[in-house]
Structure 1
Amino acid sequence: MNSLQQSLILSFFVSASLALPVSAADVKAGEQKADHCASCHGQKGNSSNAQWPNLAAQSSIYLVNQLKAFKSGDRVNPIMQPMASHLSDEDINDLSAYFSSQQPVKAGGEPTLAKAGETKAAMCLGCHGAKAQGNGQFPRLAGQYPEYLERQLNAFKTGTRKNGPMQAIAANLSEADFKALAAYFASL
């Protein structure tokens, strides 16, 4: 093997090693870092307050994206932005791995409204998963509090929360649709 071939091989391995993440997400480290999150999002990511979303079983990709959006200011929230501003990429990955590994709970939804929401839910399931369990960059809707889901749909409709596809979908829904869909997803 000549020196050019050796140099190319060495360059390949150096480049490949630089492309690898420095450390994989650590669920145990995420558990230790999650203490600050528990006051709003509950132990193990299961909130006891309808104001705050459940994080348990949420897609890790979605959680990473949202924490980075809070940190950069692309997603506006007066509580989450300061919390996320101090997180390193490693912290974000560890927290996301921890919360995504937790067992979810059902928030529950009013049965009559949930039945009405079930008939409207098909438009949501293509992105959010067949059982609204989340799908990579799309969040888990199953088990979220109805009030939280209604607020998010309203935020998309008014444009205070940005996401082109969700803004377009929410623009075509009524308040009654918000309530029905939220009750259905909360019941899953």
Structure 2
Amino acid sequence: MNNNYHKIKIIVMLGLFAAGANAADINAGKAKAAVCQGCHGSAGVSSSPLWPSLAGQGAIYLESQLNKFKSGQRENEVMKPIAAGLSEADMQNLAAYYASLPGKSAGGGSDAALIGQGKEKAGMCLGCHGNNGQGTGMVPKLAGQQPQYLAKQLADFKKGARKAPQMNAMAQSLSDDDIKALAAYLGSL
């Protein structure tokens, strides 16, 4: 075998080793998550309409959001100081931990007609958020979130208080009733 083959083999092996060395540690994430439990629940399932459930959310999305809170790109008076104290490894570990947990539906409430209206309008959401609202990569899981939390996020996108160009544009087309219906449906998944 030629010398270049061995050099390439060594470089690939070092790259694989380095990737493994940077792998997220779910147990470290679990230990770090103690501070998160007050808002996001002991198993990552929030019982409060103010805070999202993190269980089952994609690790890539969670890490991205922690970075946005830390940098100030996403504003939240509670999350900013928490994220400011996290290292890159902490964020990766927390994201891996919450992504490893099973999600649980918050339910959409008892208004079947409202849930049905939301289902009719949900096509605009499911193209990006997955056909069951399960999220994909950088796009968050909406299924099972607290309806009030979802409604607030949609309203914030509509007002421009939360910034994401595609969501800001999409939310502009929603009435307050549309927002309530979508939130009820997505929460029921």
In the superposition, the TM-score normalised over structure 2's length comes to: 0.91
Whole-Å separation in 2 of the counterparts to 1:85 and 1:21: 26
Taking structure 1 as reference, are residues 177 and 17 closer, same or farther at Cα in structure 2, changes over 3 Å only?
Answer: same
Letter in 2 for 1:180: A
Report matched runs for 1:1-188 at 5 Å. 9=8, 12=11, 16=15, 20=19, 22-110=21-109, 111-188=112-189
* Deviation readout 1:57-82 (Å, 9 max, x if unpaired): 00111101000000111101011011
* Deviation readout 1:7-42 (Å, 9 max, x if unpaired): 965984597469636421111111111100000000
Whole-Å separation in 1 of the counterparts to 2:119 and 2:16: 48
Whole-Å separation in 2 of the counterparts to 1:97 and 1:11: 29
- Which sits farther off after the overlay, 36-45 or 106-115? 106-115
Structure 1 vs Structure 2: percent identity of aligned residues? Answer: 48
User: What SS does structure 2 have at the residue aligned with 1:148?
Assistant: helix
Whole-Å separation in 1 of the counterparts to 2:5 and 2:60: 38
Whole-Å separation in 2 of the counterparts to 1:72 and 1:18: 30
- Which sits farther off after the overlay, 9-18 or 46-55? 9-18
Letter in 1 for 2:118: G
User: What SS does structure 1 have at the residue aligned with 2:185?
Assistant: helix
Whole-Å separation in 2 of the counterparts to 1:114 and 1:178: 11
In the superposition, the TM-score normalised over structure 1's length comes to: 0.91
Q: CA deviation at 1:117?
A: 0.2
Tell me the number of residue pairs that the alignment of Structure 1 and Structure 2 aligns.
187
Q: Please, which runs of 5 or more residues in structure 2 have no aligned partner?
A: none
Letter in 2 for 1:90: A
- Name the Cα RMSD after superposition: 2.1
Taking structure 1 as reference, are residues 21 and 73 closer, same or farther at Cα in structure 2, changes over 3 Å only?
Answer: farther
Whole-Å separation in 1 of the counterparts to 2:167 and 2:40: 24
Q: Please, which runs of 5 or more residues in structure 1 have no aligned partner?
A: none
